[in-house]
Amino acid sequence: MGQGDWQKAGQKGGIPGGLGSGRKWWKDAVIYQIYPRSFQDSNGDGIGDLQGIIRRLDYLEALGVDAVWLSPVCKSPQDDNGYDISDYQDIDPMFGSLEDMEQLIAKAGEHGIRIIMDLVLNHTSDEHPWFLEAKSGKDNPYHDYYVWRDGEPGAPPNDMRACFGGSAWEWVPQLGQYYFHQFSVRQPDLNWDNPKVRQEIYEMIGWWMEKGVGGFRLDVIDQIAKAPDEKITGNGPMLHTYIRELSRETFQKGDLVTVGEAWGASPELAKLYSCPDGSEFSMVFQFEHIELDKQEGKQKWDLAPLPFLKLKEVLNRWQVSLYGCGWNSLFWDNHDLPRIVSRWGDDGKYRAESAKMLATLLHGMQGTPYIYQGEELGMTNVKYPIEDYRDIETRNMYRERVQAGYREEEVMASIYAKGRDNARTPMQWDGSENAGFTNGEPWIRVNPNYRDINAANQVGVPGSVFEYYRKLVALRKGYPVLTDGRFKLLLEEDEKVFAYLREDEGHRLLVLCNFFGEPAKCNLIASWEKETLLIGNYEDAGAGPGPEEAGILRPYEARMYLAKKG
């Protein structure tokens, strides 16, 4: 389908790509994630906005991405940076207006880019009119939109904890009841068992579909069917019943991409979420691989080195089990995760090499690759004093752990390694003040390395991380084996090299990645050296290395070879 066609289809809620129809556009797509408040400010208030994004559409088109997932831009008191929505059908004035949003959808379309909205359906803001009504009286028609339990002050229904700290139950004295919240107190959970809630949500989604959005990312969708009396949050008994109804009543009426965020997904569950019959979502967005560097059974803050062989095992298991019967998202970074180059690469000497290696490893696999803003520049983590962090999760954790007697240095080390603000520092556009992000005071400090690491230094500059990403995106369009080829892990027990094959009827594609900062022997090179080197992160790779380098991958070296069969 041409670009004009999908826009029309989207606007009319048209059928192409609906349930049961042929090839899906999003299988060959690359998705770019924007965290709007940190992307580009257009009016000097220090906060990124929709007009800022419109200004940067050329940049996104140059990179070659097909769709942009916007973290929430709806009306919100911003307790959790927009993941606390007070009006699903309006844009927060901080980001612009509904007209700006319509303009963004239209202009992005002219660049061949679809806009994916972030749907936060597990909870609302405590300022949402539904919640204001709900807490005004037990007889209010909206009361049952949320999850309440009778009780006594100081004695919550059970000991469940909220994700951002404290009890999951909040006492409302005038009702003599507690409400349930899995995230902050200002994010009360919606009651999905109430059919009226579900109906309101479907109507709201239909309204956005009419506006021509290209799809939706569904925030913590595995947690909507909670059953707090049984202490169940994720994967509740009614979950897939609700998701199928949601999909049928909304997404299946259009040609959309839908992405279910599911921290608690196993490959078996992922086959339900992303079943090729289209009964739920297009794909799942799960985190098993990205949670490996923590102490077992503990929180992400309890740091542990990455078990490299385990990473291979996990990625391999997902590749193999979803082949032909599900679809996965491929990502290292998002707005909740630290920067991958600082995390599993080297943000010092080998910053560019390791950023490219990690990109190669990811973009060679089956699934839909995601690029999180700044990842394509090799942006890095930050180390700020605690006052400079803005994230509610980080601030609450700091307070709780310091009170609990953790050493200050230890708490800060966890924040440097895993804090969500690592990903939320302003996009580094150029070397001018505030990295070209704003001419006002940025809402969060700019990473001090912006004079070295920025888009102006990289776009169109051969050898840059940006140009490498651009090439990877283009390869996905040029070689169907990247979309469809069967995955096979090689060198399973190799402690240094991540190697795999992709294979379809016509081609074999080999990805070789030295995951570490020392040279690594790799006996696969010899038999592939004569094949086409599609991409590599060392200039002279493929030019025939000197005898002393034969069979060696240099620090963080990555290569992708293609061989024709037969």
Task: Output the smallest distance, CB 39 to Ca ion, in A.
Answer: 10
Backbone CA torsion sign across 361, 364, 367, 369 = positive
Percentages helix, strand, coil for the chain (3-state, rounded to 5) are 35, 20, 45
Report the residue from 171, 202, 242, 263 that binds ligand TEU according to the rule CB under 6 A: 263
Residue with Cβ nearer ligand TEU (37 or 312):
37
Task: Output the smallest distance, CB 91 to Ca ion, in A.
Answer: 12
Write out the binding residues for ligand TEU, residues 277-306 only, by CB under 6 A: 300
Catalytic residues: 219, 261
Residue with Cβ nearer ligand TEU (263 or 308):
263
> Contacts by 431-439 with C-beta closer than 8 Å and gap 24+?
431/456, 431/457, 437/38, 437/39, 437/40, 437/41, 437/48, 438/41, 438/44, 438/45, 438/46, 438/47, 438/48, 439/41, 439/44
Residue with Cβ nearer ligand TEU (369 or 419):
419
E strands present in 196-343 = 215-218, 257-261, 283-285, 329-330
79 binds ligand TEU (CB under 6 A): no
Contact range with Ca ion by CB under 5 A, out of 37-45, 367-375, 412-420, 508-516: 37-45
220 binds ligand TEU (CB under 6 A): yes
120 binds ligand TEU (CB under 6 A): yes
Contact range with Ca ion by CB under 5 A, out of 38-46, 109-117, 239-247, 518-526: 38-46
Closest by alpha carbon to 430, among 402, 397, 466?
A: 466
126 binds ligand TEU (CB under 6 A): no
The residue written with tokens 């399973």 in the block is: 492
516 binds ligand TEU (CB under 6 A): no
41 binds Ca ion (CB under 5 A): yes
Element (H, E) at 60: helix 57-63
Write out the binding residues for Ca ion, residues 45-74 only, by CB under 5 A: 45, 47, 49
222 contact, one of ligand TEU, Ca ion, none, CB 5-8 Å limit per kind: none
120 contact, one of ligand TEU, Ca ion, none, CB 5-8 Å limit per kind: ligand TEU
Answer for the pair 38, 427: CB distance below 8 angstroms, yes or no.
Answer: yes
41 contact, one of Ca ion, ligand TEU, none, CB 5-8 Å limit per kind: Ca ion
Report the residue from 92, 100, 189, 336 that binds ligand TEU according to the rule CB under 6 A: 336
Sheet order of strands, 67-70 included: 283-285, 257-261, 215-218, 114-119, 67-70, 31-34, 368-372, 329-330
421 binds ligand TEU (CB under 6 A): no
Pairing of strands 114-119, 215-218: parallel
25 binds ligand TEU (CB under 6 A): no
67 contact, one of Ca ion, ligand TEU, none, CB 5-8 Å limit per kind: none
Backbone CA torsion sign across 104, 451, 336, 279 = positive
Q: Which residues pair with 283 in a beta bridge?
A: 259
Write out the binding residues for ligand TEU, residues 367-396 only, by CB under 6 A: 393
Q: What SS3 state is found at 503?
A: strand
416 binds ligand TEU (CB under 6 A): no
Sequence letter at residue 331: F
E strands present in 14-145 = 31-34, 67-70, 74-75, 87-91, 114-119
168 binds ligand TEU (CB under 6 A): no
83 binds ligand TEU (CB under 6 A): yes
Q: What SS3 state is found at 455?
A: helix
Report the residue from 163, 415, 444, 553 that binds ligand TEU according to the rule CB under 6 A: 163
Angle 118-122-126 from CA coordinates, rounded to 5°: 95
219 binds ligand TEU (CB under 6 A): yes
219 binds Ca ion (CB under 5 A): no
Burial bucket for residue 338 (CB in 10 Å: 0-12, 13-18, 19+): buried
83 contact, one of Ca ion, ligand TEU, none, CB 5-8 Å limit per kind: ligand TEU
Report the residue from 43, 167, 235, 316 that binds Ca ion according to the rule CB under 5 A: 43
45 contact, one of ligand TEU, Ca ion, none, CB 5-8 Å limit per kind: Ca ion
Closest by alpha carbon to 170, among 116, 196, 134, 206?
A: 134
80 binds ligand TEU (CB under 6 A): yes
Q: Which residues bind ligand TEU (CB under 6 A)?
A: 80, 83, 120, 163, 183, 219-220, 263, 300, 335-336, 393, 420
Q: Which residues bind Ca ion (CB under 5 A)?
A: 41, 43, 45, 47, 49
